[in-house]
Amino acid sequence: MINRPFIKKIILLILFLSCAKSDYSSLDDSSTTYNPVTTSQNLNNWTVINGGWTIAGDGSSATQSSHSSLKPFLLVSATEYTNVILSGTVNASSSDDDMFGWVMGLNSPVSSSDTNYSFVLMDWKKADQTSSGVTGREGHCLSKVNGSFSGSTDMLDYFFGRTDTGIGGKFNVLNTNYGSSEGWSQNTSYTFEIAYTENKIKVVIGGDTIFEESGSFSSGKVGFYMYSQDDVTFSNINITTDFDPSSI
């Protein structure tokens, strides 16, 4: 004889376990599918903020040929990013020995007249140099810039001397890589890859990792930077998005 109550209990138990497993799986499923997308950049669509930028007709390269210590020269993306990888090639043909580099998470300046600056700066100086009592060191510097800057003294102290104001200040130096062999060389092409996420920055130049810095980083535009330096060309620029930030 079939024990109907017993079979009914078994069926109910199976249904209960099945539902419990489904609910657990939905709660536990924290996985996210990432599909990295790399886009070649047409630099004609980027925005010039100070400087004399010449952009190739096809948008594949940009050269900045002006020289001034009154303001940094910027060429920035049209789009803001949260997690992004900026990559390409840079070459300085000038015999000058000052700074070029990259900005990430830029929210200002938005025009040539804007004196408020908000971005993360990775700059690179060719050689040690002293100007008006301020020394700019050879090598790389990673900084959080957030404040108002105006006048030659302000510009020289911070964008040339990289004077550290500390956390909460307008020029917070996060890390440095100074040294007699750390400067860039004239007429040398360097590949670069800068990964910028909400909690980490990784800078790779010529295959060498220069910085890996953890912290809290705001979304914003990305771009190229020059200070008191001319004749630098950025080319073959790519932007990668939709990658797993934890893989950086």
Q: What is the pLDDT of residues 140-152, one digit of tens each?
A: 999 999 999 999 9
Q: What is the pLDDT of residues 35-86, one digit of tens each?
A: 999 999 999 999 999 999 999 999 999 999 999 999 999 999 999 999 999 9
Q: What is the pLDDT of residues 86-132, one digit of tens each?
A: 999 999 999 999 999 999 999 999 999 999 999 999 999 999 999 99
Among 226, 223, 234, 198, residue whose Cα is nearest residue 213: 198
Which one is the CATH code of 37-247: 3.90.1150.10, 2.40.110.10, 2.60.120.200, 1.10.10.60?
A: 2.60.120.200
Please report the pLDDT score of residue 25 as a whole number: 45
| pTM, full prediction | 0.87
Domain extents in the chain: 37-247
Give 31's pLDDT tier (boundaries 50, 70, 90). confident
